[in-house]
Amino acid sequence: MGWKEELKKRIEDIVDSQKDVAKKIASLIEEQYEELTKKAKEEKKELEEIVGEIVDIVTKKIKKEEQRMSMPLLGDKFPTLEVQTTHGKMVLPDDLRGKWTVLFSHPADFTPVCTTEFVSFQKHKKEFDEINTQLIGLSIDQVFSHIKWVEWIKEKLEVEIEFPIIAATDTIAAKIGMVHPGKGTNTVRAVFILDPEGVVRTILYYPQEIGRNISEIVRAVKALQKSDADGVATPANWPENELIKDRVIIPPATDCESAAKRTKEYECFDWWFCHKEA
């Protein structure tokens, strides 16, 4: 077996099933074979040792970059995903258009904290409906597990879960940042708020041991809608802020003339902190 074949086998072992990463690393090393041979002679090392160092560095770099690039960030379009749910197959975000969406993941079915969250999401569903917002759950459980869990909640807790739950694969969950290596293999408690165009507007992460405050998620959607509709910002705890109550904040002035006029046009603590009725 030649050095190239040995190298490719070693790379595949290192990155396991990540065949695309293996090919990238093999290509990079083949392109720089002459330089690597020279480096090995200069440092009095075996070529295999030099290659091993390069493999380790490149593997970590590529994995880190691919994870960063795949995870949606604020302002990004939510990635296209074909998923199986308790309500049938869906294509995200295409099937979500026209409504705001709260997509939330949970570590596992048939667990206490997750059960309390699902009951709470359902209890708040009417509030979400009133603000044109749909709910979608997600975990790395098979769809039959979701179905059985929903049946259990209805039978034992007398709450019918009316929103779909995605049966995600490891790949899907990792692609949207719902699996954090430091927290095990289950999905963390992630929340994505998407606008009607499928753009990510808010991302929240909670550890497995802490349940979410569903009222805060309702509040966040309402605040985003207010901001979009009126071109304003909302203060802390809006609409129950300690300083300006349910009023909203005017965007800061961008020139001296606007700053000088600002205190005459609105109620202000200063020209950079002005507010008005919502």
C-beta atoms surrounding 108 within 10 Å: 15
Please state, in angstroms and rounded to a whole number, the distance separating the CA atoms of residues 108 and 92: 21
Which candidate, 181, 173, 112, places its Cα nearest to that of 140?
Answer: 173
Give residues with Cβ within 8 angstroms of 244, minimum separation 6: 235, 275
* Number of continuous H segments (helices) and E segments (strands) in the chain: 10, 10
Q: Provide the annotated active-site residues.
A: 114
Is-contact 128 221, C-beta < 8 A? Answer: yes
Is-contact 176 83, C-beta < 8 A? Answer: no
Q: Which two tokens stand for residue 162?
A: 């009316």
